[in-house]
């Protein structure tokens, strides 16, 4: 079994050699690199931390399996999202009052997910 630090190095090498701006690493590849049959949550967490601190790579677990890898630096140029620009004045006032009623906002996101799923099926 290899340490999270060693596996992070191997993933960083694969990412570098790929020449891609973002990439996916399968669970199978990660298990092969780690020399493990199972990827425990603690190992994955440590692996993600080492990739970020030592190699400036963000790793996120994907719903479809495996992991997404992207340089953290690529996010520095991303457009900022701000409450001032994207929340209504009423929503900002409610947040300042300490309102925790987020049901309407939750419905907005749930319906957005439904819309995206419908677009995928079309």
pTM of the complete model? 0.73
* Per-residue CA distances from 34 to 25, 49, 52, 56, 65 (Å): 13, 15, 18, 20, 17
Worst-scoring range by mean pLDDT, 98-102, 107-111, 112-116? 112-116
Domains in the chain with CATH codes: 4-76 (3.30.1370), 83-121 (no CATH)
Residue 87 has pLDDT above 60, yes or no: yes
The answer to whether the CB of 87 falls within 8 A of the CB of 95 is yes
């Amino acid at each position: 079994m290899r340490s999270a630090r060693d596996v992070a190095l191997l993933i960083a090498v694969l990412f570098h050699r790929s020449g891609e701006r973002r990439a996916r690493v399968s669970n199978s590849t990660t298990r092969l690199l780690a020399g493990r049959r199972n990827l425990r949550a603690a190992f994955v967490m440590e692996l993600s931390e080492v990739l970020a601190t030592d190699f400036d790579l963000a790793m996120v677990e994907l719903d479809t399996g495996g992991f997404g890898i992207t340089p953290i630096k690529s996010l520095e140029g991303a457009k900022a999202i701000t409450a001032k620009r994207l929340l209504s004045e009423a929503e900002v006032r409610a947040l300042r009052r300490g309102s925790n009623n987020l049901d309407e906002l939750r419905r907005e996101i749930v319906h957005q997910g439904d819309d995206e799923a419908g677009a995928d099926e079309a």
